[in-house]
Structure 1
Amino acid sequence: MAGLSAQVRQDRAELGIVMMLVAYLLFATLDTSVKWLVVGGVHAFQLAFFRYVGHFAISLIMIGGGGLSWSRFGSGQIGLVILRAVFLVGSTVLNFVALNYLTLTVTSAILFSAPIIVCALSMPLLGERVGPWRWFAILMGFAGVMVIIRPFGEAFHPAALLSVVNAIMMALYSILTRRLAGQIAAQTMQLYAGAVGTLALLPFAIMTWRTPQTGLEWGLMIALGFWGWLGHELLTRAHGFAPAGTLMPYTYSFMIYLTISGYAVFGNLPDRWTVIGAAIVVVSGLLIWWREKRMEVRHGRG
């Protein structure tokens, strides 16, 4: 029986890993589609609106299947749920704008400083202790970001700063998600993210509207919401099958996916400094993950 139980846990962990890989493939597909559309003249606000109106429609259908009563939509921490949604929507808009100027590899590499920022903010915001090893990894990660954006070099583009703020917003979004986990249903948080994005971006979408010229443009715009919703759904469910420590290294598949699609669709290959900076960010993120795993084992949680 013990062997069977271990096999079941292994199978569940493998399913969680597969879900994680598919979720980040969907996010990469979303970003690649957005870059293709925004370079083609569709405004980032319009694309962000479609991203969230589709997300909201699907979430409403899913959560409203059992009846449209306030008890199914209410939340005891509505302020934090809405603030979490604001950070996610703001992050999306900044990312979509940055994609008009930066390559997919650069935006994804900067975004992966978000877990490092989470670690830096976990002490003041969550009361968690951050030891010297993790502070070293945090400083190392920021050095990696500086290598990527090269703020004092000729290759610097101001849009890189948008990606940095995007990473900060994603970090704050992650911290709020961690705080609300177990208190608010994932479907409820999905619904509010879609609702906030739809309502906040509707006026900007109207002001910047450009009617898609082809069926492919329409199809990609409509699919943005589905890819975003399904990616977040798989990401949430993956953590129900495997612990975060097991799943975390697979998040870097996102960078691999975008490097491939960036070359296949746009002919972009990362330059030497982007590769070096991305490698530093990845190593620092993995160092933080390793220290957190060690701490879990030391305290009997691993």
Structure 2
Amino acid sequence: MTEAKPREDRTRTGVLLMVLAVAFFTCIDSSAKLLIIAGLPTLQVVFARYTGHFLVAVLLFGLRDPSAFRSHAPVKQMLRSLFLLGSTVLNFSALQFLPITVTTTIMFAGPIAITLLAIPLLGEKVGLRRIVAVCCGFAGVLVVMQPWGAEFHPAMFLSLGALVCASFYFILTRMLSDVEANATQQLWSSGIAALCLLPFVLQDWTWPTGWSWLPFVLIGCFGASGHIAATVAHRLADASILAPVVYVQIFMAAFAGWSLFDTLPTVWTLGGGLIIIASGLYIWQRERVVRGRVRRPVPAQR
């Protein structure tokens, strides 16, 4: 059966691949918003994203090694795939109504939500300082959402739902990191999503027209390329080094919003984003410190 490749120490390449992965993730959201604006149903856009991803994964992994389709932990793999699908459906639904900078910024709270979920699900211990950072991070989410102001839109709750689903997805990814190979995870996450959506999209299929064919075809390639690049990046560099790289996406999302949709991030989005990023970076730094203490050898008694 397909096995995971050994770790390598190529930090610079890993960081560059992670930046590339984040760029592909921005392309996914931008393509989805373009297709929804063009009149395609949201579920069909999600279907195109995962079907394209699955076809790329089959070409790269499945045809070369059919054993990649077999999972060591099918139940967890199924749950992981469904949470990823739920996150995508909710995120694409939110993109119908919200600027890409808003949905991206809310999703930045992922590491904060994962920190909380890791306590009951992974048995991790989280100190008081990280709990305070989590609270500050969610305060930043409130600043972005502005539930007290005229700019608030109910679709922001869809982004929060996407955030929760994505957090469970990453928790399950951690559980499977030493169980499943990258090939198996790519095939299952994309294949299950496409299979689940197939009966729904066939009932209301709408063919793309004109320029919308381009993002319709490319969105799945963006998805596969982004996830593969991120996985390889984590094999070449430590997760503690790669974690802050995802925040580069706020600049990419701002550029995509300006160039494609003629929207710029508001002061509230930028301010809340800075709070979320600062909280996420603090949590990341504390995790590095705690793990460093755990790994540090105990001096011999003399």
User: TM-score when scaled to structure 2?
Assistant: 0.93
Change (3 A) 1:72 1:21: closer
Please say if residues 73 and 188 of structure 1, whose CA atoms lie closer than 8 Å, have aligned partners that are also in contact.
yes
1:298 Cα deviation from its structure 2 partner: 1.7
Of 13, 16, 21, which residue of structure 1 is paired with 2:14?
Answer: 16
Of 114, 121, 124, which residue of structure 1 is paired with 2:120?
Answer: 124
Please say if residues 34 and 215 of structure 2, whose CA atoms lie closer than 8 Å, have aligned partners that are also in contact.
no
Identity of aligned residues (%): 39
Query: What are the equivalent positions in structure 2 for 1:55-204 lying under 5 Å apart?
Result: 55-68=53-66, 71-204=67-200
Range moving further from structure 2, 111-120 or 144-153: 144-153
Distance 1:282 1:79 in 2: 33
Of 23, 27, 34, which residue of structure 2 is paired with 1:25?
Answer: 23
1:183 partner SS: coil
Deviation sequence 1:265-299 (CA, Å, 0-9, x none): 11111111111111111011001001011112222
1:67 Cα deviation from its structure 2 partner: 5.0
Match of 1:259 in 2: 254
User: TM-score when scaled to structure 1?
Assistant: 0.93
Distance 1:153 1:227 in 2: 35
Query: What are the equivalent positions in structure 2 for 1:280-295 lying under 5 Å apart?
Result: 280-295=275-290
Please say if residues 109 and 141 of structure 2, whose CA atoms lie closer than 8 Å, have aligned partners that are also in contact.
yes
Of 40, 43, 53, which residue of structure 2 is paired with 1:42?
Answer: 40
Distance 1:66 1:211 in 2: 32
Distance 2:75 2:102 in 1: 33
Q: How many residues align?
A: 290
1:58 Cα deviation from its structure 2 partner: 1.5
Distance 1:72 1:112 in 2: 31
Distance 2:32 2:290 in 1: 39
Matching of residue 269 in structure 1 with residue 264 in structure 2: yes
Distance 2:186 2:65 in 1: 17
Distance 2:292 2:227 in 1: 28
Matching of residue 220 in structure 1 with residue 219 in structure 2: no
Please say if residues 106 and 160 of structure 2, whose CA atoms lie closer than 8 Å, have aligned partners that are also in contact.
yes
Letter in 2 for 1:98: A
Distance 2:170 2:209 in 1: 37
Distance 1:218 1:14 in 2: 36
1:209 Cα deviation from its structure 2 partner: 2.0
1:157 partner SS: coil
Match of 1:3 in 2: none
1:66 partner SS: coil
1:206 Cα deviation from its structure 2 partner: 2.0
Please say if residues 102 and 144 of structure 2, whose CA atoms lie closer than 8 Å, have aligned partners that are also in contact.
yes
Letter in 2 for 1:287: Y
Letter in 1 for 2:59: I
Deviation sequence 1:60-98 (CA, Å, 0-9, x none): 222223354xx4422221000010000001101111111
Letter in 2 for 1:39: I
Please say if residues 54 and 222 of structure 1, whose CA atoms lie closer than 8 Å, have aligned partners that are also in contact.
yes
Please say if residues 45 and 208 of structure 1, whose CA atoms lie closer than 8 Å, have aligned partners that are also in contact.
no
Please say if residues 35 and 96 of structure 1, whose CA atoms lie closer than 8 Å, have aligned partners that are also in contact.
yes
Query: What are the equivalent positions in structure 2 for 1:228-267 lying under 5 Å apart?
Result: 228-267=223-262
Root-mean-square deviation over aligned CA pairs = 1.5
Please say if residues 68 and 183 of structure 2, whose CA atoms lie closer than 8 Å, have aligned partners that are also in contact.
no
1:262 Cα deviation from its structure 2 partner: 0.3
Letter in 1 for 2:243: M
1:300 Cα deviation from its structure 2 partner: 2.5
